[in-house]
Amino acid sequence: MFLTVNLLWLLAKLLDTNLRFLFRIGKRMQLSFKGVASIVIYGIVIFFLVFAVYCESKDIRCSEFNNGDCGPGRGVAYAEGTPKKGDSHETLIEKAKLTARYEMNSIMWRRCFIAAAVSAFLVLYSGTKRIPTGIQFGAAFLMIYIIFYLTITSFQKWIAQKAIKQMDLILTGLS
């Protein structure tokens, strides 16, 4: 607990120091609070957007199960579930169960983040015909992200879980 409090205090100090530094630079460059806030918000979103796109592409195209071999259809989603010659009946059933659970095991925050960032920017830009400020973008992004995330996770809970249970029953009946 003590370590967590110290880490949070250190993080707050670093953020405070860095934000004060940014505001000093902003004053020298004659940037307003909105200007500095826009730089910070866009910087944070772009950083996490690049991270999310990188991780999603790696999950879809590369896998440690394929010895780092990358390409279409070779990602984590497919690597363990790909049938091979000589697989037993039980092994094929387990691979089918694993493949059916892919959507439930996906990392939804990354997909929602990518979709929300693109959607928020496009909606604001098409509505105003100019690049939105960071505060406008941040507010729209948060609203769209929450809607996307809640919609997708609700879909997983109420529909996909029942379909997976049904798939498990079918595959159990085959064995």
Q: What angle do CA 166, 171, 175 make, to 5 degrees?
A: 145
Q: Give the pLDDT score at 47.
A: 94
Percent of the chain with pLDDT over 70: 71
Q: Is the pLDDT of residue 95 over 50?
A: yes
Model pTM score = 0.69
Q: Is the pLDDT of residue 141 over 90?
A: yes
CA dist list (Å): 146 to 2, 27, 120, 139, 153: 32, 34, 12, 11, 11
Q: Give the pLDDT score at 90.
A: 80
* Contacts for 53 with CB less than 8 Å, ≥ 6 apart: 114
With 0-12 CB in 10 A as exposed, 13-18 as middle and 19+ as buried, what is 112? buried
Mean per-residue pLDDT over the chain, rounded: 77
First to last CA, the chain: 49
Mean of pLDDT values over 81-94? 78
* Contacts for 77 with CB less than 8 Å, ≥ 6 apart: 59, 60, 99, 102, 106
Mean of pLDDT values over 87-99? 77
